[in-house]
Structure 1
Amino acid sequence: MKKIIMLLTAVMAVHFAHAQAPDPDTTARHFIIMASIGNLQEINSGKLASQKASRPDVKSFGQMMVTDHSGAEQKLLQLAKTQGYQIPAAATMTPPPDLNLSKASGDDFDRLYIHAMVTGHRNTVMMFQNYAIAGKDPKVKAFAQQMLPTLKQHLEAIKALDEKYKNLVAK
C-alpha cells in the first residue's frame, strides 16, 4: 500500500510539474491513472505469484491477474488515447516490486500475496463501482461497467483463497 501511495504521489508531482491544458473531465483522467497503476501492480504481483507461490491455486490466481490485467491495461490505454486524456508516463511504467513480496517465500509469500490481493481488489471494485455510477465521461464509465464483473470475480476468488488459507501464520 505504501508503494501505491508513493507511486501516486510521484505521478501527481509529474502531472503538476508539467503544465497541461485543462482536462474536460479530471475525474475520468484520475480514474484512468489510478486504474492503470492498479493494473500494473496486479500484473507485477501476479508474475511474482505465478513464480513464487507455494500453492497451485495461488499460482493460478497470480497468472489470472497477469492475463486479465494485461488485457484491461491495453483497453484502458487505448480508451485514454481515444478520449484524448494525457496520462503521465509514471502511471504506465512497471512499478517497483513490493519488497515484502519479493523477499518472502513459501507460506509467508502466499499469506502476504493473498492479503494484498484481498485489500487491493476491495479498493479496486469500490473505485470502479463509484466511476460506473457517477462518472462523467460515458466511454470511461462504460469501461468501468464492463470491467466490474471481472473485478468482482477476482475479489470473490481471492476471498475464497483467503478463507481457505486463513490459518497461515507468519514465521
Structure 2
Amino acid sequence: MRKAILLILLGFGAVAKAQIPQPDPDTTAKHFLIVASIKNLQEVSSGQIAIQKASRPDVKAFGRMMVKDHGDAEQQLLQLAKSRGISLPSAATGGLQPDLNLKNAGSNFDQLYVHGMVSGHENAVEVFQNYAVNGKDPAVRAWAQQMLPTLKHHLEEIKTISKQL
C-alpha cells in the first residue's frame, strides 16, 4: 500500500512538473534583446518626428540625440544578437510604425513627446537595470551595463526639458 501511495505521489509530482514550463536559458537574453530593439526603434522613430515637428529647439535637439544614440545602440544590439546566435523577429528589428498620436499632434506636440520620452526612458532604465543585474548571458548583461549611463543621461535631459515646459 505504501508503495502504491508513493508511486501515486511521484506520479502527481511528474505531472505537476510537466505542466510547469521550465525556463529556457536563452529566453531571457532573447526577450531582453527584443524589448531593447523595439525601444530603440521607437526612440529613433519618435526622434525623427520630433526633429520635424517640435517647436522648441531643446526638444528638437533631444530628438536628434535619440536618432543618433538609439540608432547606434540598435546597430550594437544587432551585432551582439548575431554574435550570440540569437535571431530576432523582424517585428523587433524594423518596420515600426511611427506613433500616430505624435505624428498627428498639433500645437501640443512638444508636451506629448516629452511626456512620452520621460515615461519611456524611466521604463528603459528599469528594464536595462534589471538585465544588467540579473541577466544570465554575460555578454548581453555587459552591453546592458554599458548602455545604462546613456539611458540615465537621456532620462535626466528629458526631465530637465519637462520641467521647463
Same fold (TM over 0.5): yes
Does 146-155 or 86-95 show the bigger shift?
86-95
Alpha-carbon distance in 2 for matches of 1:24, 1:31: 12
* Secondary structure of the structure 2 residue equivalent to 1:104: coil
Give the CA deviation at 1:130.
0.2
Give the CA deviation at 1:86.
1.4
Structure 2: 5+ residue stretches without partners: 1-22
Alpha-carbon distance in 2 for matches of 1:94, 1:47: 14
Percent identity between the aligned chains? 64
Kindly indicate whether the alpha-carbon contact (under 8 Å) linking 2:25 and 2:136 is maintained by their aligned counterparts in 1.
Answer: no
Structure 2 counterpart of 1:116: 116
| Post-superposition CA distance 1:108-156 (Å, at most 9, x none) | 0000000000000000000000000000000000000000000000000
Residue 156 of structure 2 aligns with an amino acid whose one-letter code is E
Structure 1: 5+ residue stretches without partners: 1-21, 166-171
Give the CA deviation at 1:105.
2.6
What is the TM-score when the length of structure 2 is the normalising length? 0.84
Alpha-carbon distance in 1 for matches of 2:38, 2:45: 11
| RMSD (Å), alpha carbons | 1.2
How many pairs align? 143
Structure 1 counterpart of 2:149: 149
What is the TM-score when the length of structure 1 is the normalising length? 0.81
Higher gyration radius (CA): 2
| Post-superposition CA distance 1:76-132 (Å, at most 9, x none) | 0000000001111111013111111011133x0000000000000000000000000
Structure 2 counterpart of 1:80: 81
Kindly indicate whether the alpha-carbon contact (under 8 Å) linking 1:49 and 1:113 is maintained by their aligned counterparts in 2.
Answer: yes
Structure 2 counterpart of 1:34: 35
